[in-house]
Amino acid sequence: MVHALKLAAAGLLLAASARADLQLTPRLVDYELDGVKFKQLVFSDGSGKDITYSPPTGWEYSGSATKLSLRPPKKPQAEATVTKVTLSRPGVFDDESIKKITDEALASVPSGSTNVTLVSQEKNPLMIEKKETFLVTIAYSFYGENYKRSIMFLNRSKEQLRFELVSREADFKDLQKAFLGSQFTWQNL
């Protein structure tokens, strides 16, 4: 009886850990809504449910187990990414973690950048599947060009997803609107 309980507990632990292992390698699938055909990206986390996302229209994509890259058309100096980071314990957005991720965002600029500035911090600019988010936006100069970067953090059990956009400052507002708007399309995350 004790052996059976141990096996059952181990099975539940494996199922729970499989749920947390989101793979960002996308599959493209078609779906139909009210007679209109759409394309969306499908990911797996081992739970048996498809996790879906619709990137902004016209953006190219590629992915690996831990990173999804998105490139807007006709903007060679812009890129959006969704990356997965494993956490040692479930993440929260308390004062300590907010300071840590803000410091990480500021340190993420390319080496040699100047005029690095924290533009804004915002808790819950949007909720994704009832999960809290934290958005950091920074500005910097690199080789005479002004850039902006945003990183939105989402904690998913023992994983943290980071939705990052970097572009020339002149393109940032429109690209940020499209990228953040696409985050509402995540399903089963």
pLDDT in tens, 91-101: 899 999 999 99
Can you give the CATH number for the domain in which 29 is found? 3.40.1000.10
Beta bridge partners of 96: none
Cα separation values, 146 from 71, 76, 77, 81, 168, Å = 19, 15, 11, 20, 6
3-class secondary structure, 121: strand
Residue 158 counted as domain residue: yes
Residue 27 counted as domain residue: yes
Q: Which domain holds residue 98?
A: 21-185
Residue 15 counted as domain residue: no
149 vs 119: CA distance, rounded Å: 9
pLDDT in tens, 18-57: 445 899 999 999 888 888 888 899 999 988 899 999 999 9
136 vs 151: CA distance, rounded Å: 5
Is the predicted pLDDT of residue 178 greater than 50, yes or no? Answer: yes
Is the predicted pLDDT of residue 169 greater than 80, yes or no? Answer: yes
Ranges 7-21, 84-98, 127-141, 155-169: which has the least confidence: 7-21
The residues near 18 (Cβ < 8 Å, ≥ 6 apart) are: 45, 46, 47
pLDDT value at position 8?
A: 43
pLDDT value at position 21?
A: 85
Residue 128 counted as domain residue: yes
Q: Which two tokens stand for residue 99?
A: 């300071």
Report the sign of the C-alpha dihedral through residues 89, 64, 135, 47, in that order: negative
pLDDT value at position 10?
A: 44
Per-residue burial over 39-73, b if 16 or more Cβ lie within 10 Å, else e, is ebbbbbbeeeeebbbebbeebebebeeeebbbbbe
- DSSP code for 183: G
| In the chain, % of residues over pLDDT 90 | 76
Q: What is the mean pLDDT of the chain?
A: 89
Residue 152 counted as domain residue: yes
Is the predicted pLDDT of residue 16 greater than 60, yes or no? Answer: no
Residue 10 counted as domain residue: no
Q: Which residue has the higher pLDDT, 4 or 111?
A: 111
Question: Please, which pLDDT band fits residue 5 given cuts at 50, 70 and 90?
Answer: very low
Mean pLDDT of 87-109: 93
Q: Which of 55, 54, 63, 58 is nearest to 33 (CA)?
A: 54
Q: How many domains does the chain have?
A: 1
C-beta atoms surrounding 175 within 10 Å? 23
Residue 119 counted as domain residue: yes
3-class secondary structure, 100: helix
Residue 7 counted as domain residue: no
Is the predicted pLDDT of residue 188 greater than 60, yes or no? Answer: yes
